[in-house]
Chain A
Amino acid sequence: MATVFKRPHALIDVPLHYCPGCTHGIVHRLIAEVIDELGIEGKTVGISPVGCTYNNYDYFNCDMVQAAHGRAPAVGTGVKRVNPDNIVFTYQGDGDLAAIGTAEIVHAATRGENITTIFVNNAIYGMTSGQMAPTTLMNQVTTTSPYGRKPEIHGFPIKVCEMLSTLDGAVFVERVSTHDIKNIMSAKKAIKKAFQVQMANKGFAIVEVLSACPTNWGLNPLEALKWIQDNMVPFYPLGNFKGKDLEV
């Protein structure tokens, strides 16, 4: 009988602790499928962030290091430099990567570290219960912008892919989304390529994944997916910014 559905081996068979409708779980699964398909489980090391996914070392079937908030790219750099044959990925939220860890991500990319970053942008600090993040959209309501994000008080959202693609060390930069099946399939392709770039020793690769936080957005899971499509995608355009034709 043909197997049509199988849990990826790289994803440990335990229930994930994420809220209903949270797309962190989907992103985990895509990474695990890619690890399986590339046959790199035995040599992959993941760096866990601080955020809702702080304990994703319980989910990925590979060795993981817990980094302090925002420091994953620096920790990943250390792991990779000691053993360049390892495949090193960081998994980071927007608070982790685009707020407290902005220096680390910019400089890992600047140095052209041969690591892969999966950046899950849900436009909010999920873990600490919904404060405004640098990626929070204009007019978006959060617990620290109760009447919506206003430029004169809160400044403007940061576009990470656009910013990092100006750096020579970043060779693969792509933004994808999780709001429907088609986009999830593209997301997987991008994540796979980002790992392949590393396997081919080409340099720093990052995939930004637009993701839902229904709990802190105050939406149900379906509304949250629609919110990504209607609000996030227009502001954070999907597609490849760099390295589309890179040979891997």
Chain B
Amino acid sequence: MAIRERMSGNEAMAVAMKQINPDVVAAFPITPSTEVPQYFSNFVADGVVDTEFVAVESEHSAMSACVGAQAAGGRAMTATSANGLALMWEILYIAACSRLPIVMACVNRTLSGPLNIHNDHSDSMGARDSGWVQLYSENNQEAYDNMLMANRIGEHPDVMLPVMVCQDGFITSHAIENIELVEDDKVKAFVGEYNPKDYLLNKANPISVGPLDLQAHCFEHKRQQAEAMKNAKKVILEVSEEFAKMTGRKYGLFEEYKTEDAEVAVVILNSTAGTAKYVIDQYRAEGKKIGLIKPRVFRPFPVDELTAALSKFKAVAVMDKADSFNDAGGPLFTEVTSAMFAKGVFGPKVINYIYGLGGRDVRSTDIEVVFNELLKIAETGTVESVYNYLGVRE
């Protein structure tokens, strides 16, 4: 029987880590992810996990220690946010290219500057091309479930890539909600042992990790990384199916909410999807045909599936909680629209809203503004402005 509990998103991630019982956790505190390693260090102190917990002096060292631990054949995990993730940057790429399936809890926070501790997605969006698998979570349950699946995805022999599980700082990391936990023994059986093919100090097969790789092979090296990311899509679906058999909770590449007959839809990551669902229910009661697409998997980017799903709408608003400062649109918008163009999906009119930067509250009335605009576009067929800001003072 699943365990019914109530806890914050941070505690949920820490509990998942406890159940996974990794070999090494190396972390440096940063709001709002601090609680994850803090809960975990208590598990270590109480002897309920076998993990080596290293209170390193910075995130740069945290990720470096994870690289060393994972290269040595162990399972390594960490947690961070914002500037902590930024300080890991150099090592994120090294972890990915060294094919070390480290798992990170990334509690999304605005990347400085200006200095701000509240939620947006500028941290993980900035790391989107570092070669990590990225999973996004709407609430504590999804954050927990994604953490439980992360090792299986990253460690699959066809993948061997690090995985970042994201949830919204404070909004879900600190909000206490109901949750269904999986029993320890089931998690243990599901996650399994980590037995990498190559690891350090294997006398039978000595290796070097992360050596110099110049013109002769670097390109092929990167090409293999790209292939691994491609493979990740299939693996994510397989692991999610197995997870659904165990828990009854079904996850795909993205969630569709009330899209079957929808004429317009929004595309939103993480917690704001919950607000959008509320608005959709209200509008549907008035007979308005609106829906939501909530990407769970941002890396790899589900080009085929997402564009097929979007093709049925008349108008779509892609919502970005990060700006690209490119005079063109936020990161999710540019990815979605370029995928649609490449796949020849020209039907829907697509607009972009940058929203919630620096933790600006996003209310249901803000989401209503977006749906009203979409319904107008669906009716008239005209887009007045493609690149928009929601809820900002101008």
| Chain A interface (Cβ < 8 Å from any Cβ of B) | 50, 54, 66, 68-70, 99-100, 102, 125, 128-129, 131-132, 134, 143-147, 153-154
Say yes or no: A50-B115 contact (C-beta < 8 A), given A100-B58, A128-B29, A131-B29. Answer: yes
Q: When the two chains form their complex, are residues A146 and B45 in contact, meaning their CB atoms are under 8 A apart? A: yes
**Interface assignment of B172: CB less than 8 Å from any CB of chain A:** no
Query: Given the complex of chains A and B, what is the CA–CA distance between A129 and B32 in angstroms?
Result: 11
Of residues 314 through 342 on chain B, the ones whose CB sits less than 8 Å from some CB of chain A are none
Q: When the two chains form their complex, are residues B31 and A128 in contact, meaning their CB atoms are under 8 A apart? A: yes
Q: When the two chains form their complex, are residues A134 and B38 in contact, meaning their CB atoms are under 8 A apart? A: no
User: Contact flags (1/0) for B41-82 with A, using CB distance below 8 Å?
Assistant: 110010000000101011100000000000000000000000
Query: Distance (Å) between the CB of B28 and the closest chain A CB?
Result: 7
Q: When the two chains form their complex, are residues A131 and B34 in contact, meaning their CB atoms are under 8 A apart? A: yes
Query: Given the complex of chains A and B, what is the CA–CA distance between A129 and B41 in angstroms?
Result: 14
Query: Given the complex of chains A and B, what is the CA–CA distance between A134 and B45 in angstroms?
Result: 18
Contacts of A132 in B (CB 8 A): 55
Contacts of B57 in A (CB 8 A): 99-100, 102, 134
**Interface assignment of B112: CB less than 8 Å from any CB of chain A:** yes
Q: When the two chains form their complex, are residues A144 and B28 in contact, meaning their CB atoms are under 8 A apart? A: no
Contacts of B92 in A (CB 8 A): none
A-B pairs with beta carbons under 8 Å apart, 10 shown: A54-B115, A100-B57, A100-B59, A128-B31, A131-B55, A143-B41, A144-B37, A144-B55, A145-B55, A146-B42
- The 7 tightest CB contacts between A and B, nearest first, are A99-B57, A100-B58, A144-B41, A128-B29, A146-B45, A131-B29, A128-B34
Contacts of B30 in A (CB 8 A): 128
Say yes or no: A68-B83 contact (C-beta < 8 A), given A128-B29, A131-B29, A154-B55. Answer: yes
Q: When the two chains form their complex, are residues A145 and B45 in contact, meaning their CB atoms are under 8 A apart? A: yes
Which residue of chain A has its CB nearest to the CB of B34? A128
Chain B, interface size category, equals: 20 to 34
Contacts of A50 in B (CB 8 A): 115
Other A-B contacts than A100-B87, A102-B57, A128-B31, 10 sampled, CB-CB below 8 A, are A54-B115, A69-B83, A99-B58, A100-B28, A125-B29, A128-B29, A131-B34, A143-B38, A145-B45, A145-B55
How many A-B Cβ pairs are below 8 Å? 46
Contacts of A153 in B (CB 8 A): 53
Chain A CB count within 10 A is highest, among B41, B45, B55, for B55
Chain B CB count within 10 A is highest, among A54, A68, A144, for A144
Query: Given the complex of chains A and B, what is the CA–CA distance between A69 and B57 in angstroms?
Result: 11
Query: Distance (Å) between the CB of B7 and the closest chain A CB?
Result: 17
Contacts of B34 in A (CB 8 A): 128-129, 131
Query: Given the complex of chains A and B, what is the CA–CA distance between A66 and B45 in angstroms?
Result: 36
Of residues 167 through 185 on chain B, the ones whose CB sits less than 8 Å from some CB of chain A are none
Contacts of A129 in B (CB 8 A): 34
| Chain B interface (Cβ < 8 Å from any Cβ of A) | 28-31, 34, 37-38, 41-42, 45, 53, 55, 57-59, 83, 87, 112-113, 115
Query: Given the complex of chains A and B, what is the CA–CA distance between A143 and B38 in angstroms?
Result: 6
Contacts of B113 in A (CB 8 A): 66
Contacts of B38 in A (CB 8 A): 131, 143-144
Query: Distance (Å) between the CB of B337 and the closest chain A CB?
Result: 33
Contacts of B115 in A (CB 8 A): 50, 54, 66
Contacts of B31 in A (CB 8 A): 128
Which residue of chain B has its CB nearest to the CB of A155? B55
Query: Given the complex of chains A and B, what is the CA–CA distance between A68 and B59 in angstroms?
Result: 13
Query: Given the complex of chains A and B, what is the CA–CA distance between A143 and B45 in angstroms?
Result: 10
Query: Distance (Å) between the CB of A81 and the closest chain B CB?
Result: 22
Contacts of B41 in A (CB 8 A): 143-146
Query: Given the complex of chains A and B, what is the CA–CA distance between A93 and B58 in angstroms?
Result: 14
Query: Given the complex of chains A and B, what is the CA–CA distance between A70 and B83 in angstroms?
Result: 12
Q: When the two chains form their complex, are residues A68 and B112 in contact, meaning their CB atoms are under 8 A apart? A: yes
Which residue of chain A has its CB nearest to the CB of B86? A68
Query: Given the complex of chains A and B, what is the CA–CA distance between A58 and B37 in angstroms?
Result: 32
Contacts of A100 in B (CB 8 A): 28, 57-59, 87
Chain A CB count within 10 A is highest, among B45, B57, B112, for B57
Query: Given the complex of chains A and B, what is the CA–CA distance between A145 and B46 in angstroms?
Result: 11
Query: Given the complex of chains A and B, what is the CA–CA distance between A10 and B41 in angstroms?
Result: 42
Contacts of A66 in B (CB 8 A): 113, 115
Which residue of chain B has its CB nearest to the CB of A55? B115
Which residue of chain A has its CB nearest to the CB of B30? A128
Query: Given the complex of chains A and B, what is the CA–CA distance between A146 and B47 in angstroms?
Result: 12
Query: Given the complex of chains A and B, what is the CA–CA distance between A231 and B34 in angstroms?
Result: 27
Which residue of chain B has its CB nearest to the CB of A154? B55
Query: Given the complex of chains A and B, what is the CA–CA distance between A70 and B30 in angstroms?
Result: 13
Contacts of B112 in A (CB 8 A): 68
Query: Distance (Å) between the CB of B73 and the closest chain A CB?
Result: 22
Query: Distance (Å) between the CB of A124 and the closest chain B CB?
Result: 11
Q: When the two chains form their complex, are residues A99 and B28 in contact, meaning their CB atoms are under 8 A apart? A: yes
Q: When the two chains form their complex, are residues B29 and A147 in contact, meaning their CB atoms are under 8 A apart? A: no
Contacts of A131 in B (CB 8 A): 29, 34, 38, 55
Query: Given the complex of chains A and B, what is the CA–CA distance between A146 and B41 in angstroms?
Result: 8
Query: Distance (Å) between the CB of A215 and the closest chain B CB?
Result: 15
Which residue of chain B has its CB nearest to the CB of A131? B29
Contacts of B87 in A (CB 8 A): 100
Query: Distance (Å) between the CB of B10 and the closest chain A CB?
Result: 12
Which residue of chain B has its CB nearest to the CB of A158? B57
Which residue of chain A has its CB nearest to the CB of B41? A144
Query: Given the complex of chains A and B, what is the CA–CA distance between A102 and B57 in angstroms?
Result: 9
Which residue of chain B has its CB nearest to the CB of A101? B58
Query: Distance (Å) between the CB of B37 and the closest chain A CB?
Result: 7
Chain A CB count within 10 A is highest, among B29, B31, B83, for B29
Contacts of B55 in A (CB 8 A): 131-132, 144-145, 154
Query: Given the complex of chains A and B, what is the CA–CA distance between A70 and B84 in angstroms?
Result: 12
Query: Given the complex of chains A and B, what is the CA–CA distance between A131 and B31 in angstroms?
Result: 12
Contacts of B83 in A (CB 8 A): 68-69
